[in-house]
């Protein structure tokens, strides 16, 4: 059950926030339209920029000193993944979308033994959904404010109003699949 729920929220968050970010980046969309092989790199950069999970809680298994702070065994800490993924010491110009960023050591899906088991599936779902949206509706544009779900940890886009000649309407986390999957 945990895998089903966790995987669903991460993929939904990546897709919704990925659409929202790419709508603001016409040069990136143009490059993806000209070279669809770049979608895999785009998904990696989107995972870093729009981290689905904002933080994780961890408990120290042993005493650790970081700088002038000591974290004692048993102490709990919140690790802010979204901030780590935009650390300028790790990612030069961290707020800019870069296809060929040399450092891919972001922590959007955790790290080490805590790495997300569904990471490869989230990447695949994200690539297929985002590539389909922007190939099917190349002229899509945002027409309203973004509405986010009331979720403290997962940055989950609930609603994004859009317009394009191919289809007008609102794509939400509940109906994006119906909007993307071809009708028979």
| Pairing mode, strands 169-172 and 76-80 | unpaired
Q: Are 167 and 137 in contact (CB under 8 A)?
A: yes
Q: What amino acid positions are annotated as catalytic residues?
A: 6, 9, 11, 116, 125
Cα separation, 36 vs 67, whole angstroms = 44
User: Cα angle vertex 24, ends 21, 27, to 5°?
Assistant: 110
């Amino acid at each position: 059950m945990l895998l089903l729920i966790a995987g669903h929220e991460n993929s939904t968050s990546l897709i919704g926030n990925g659409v929202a970010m790419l709508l603001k980046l016409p040069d990136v969309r143009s490059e993806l339209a000209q070279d669809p092989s770049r979608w895999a790199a785009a998904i990696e950069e989107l995972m870093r920029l729009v981290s689905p999970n904002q933080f994780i809680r961890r408990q120290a298994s042993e005493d650790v000193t970081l700088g002038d702070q000591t974290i004692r065994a048993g102490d709990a800490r919140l690790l802010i993944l979204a901030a780590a993924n935009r650390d300028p010491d790790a990612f030069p110009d961290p707020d800019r979308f870069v296809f060929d960023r040399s450092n891919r050591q972001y922590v959007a899906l955790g790290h080490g033994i805590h790495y997300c088991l569904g990471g490869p599936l989230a990447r695949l779902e994200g690539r297929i959904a985002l590539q389909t949206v922007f190939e099917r509706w190349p002229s899509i544009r945002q027409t309203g404010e973004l509405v986010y779900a009331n979720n403290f940890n997962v940055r989950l886009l609930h609603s994004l109003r859009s317009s394009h000649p191919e289809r007008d309407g609102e794509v939400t986390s509940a109906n994006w699949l119906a909007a993307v999957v071809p009708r028979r």
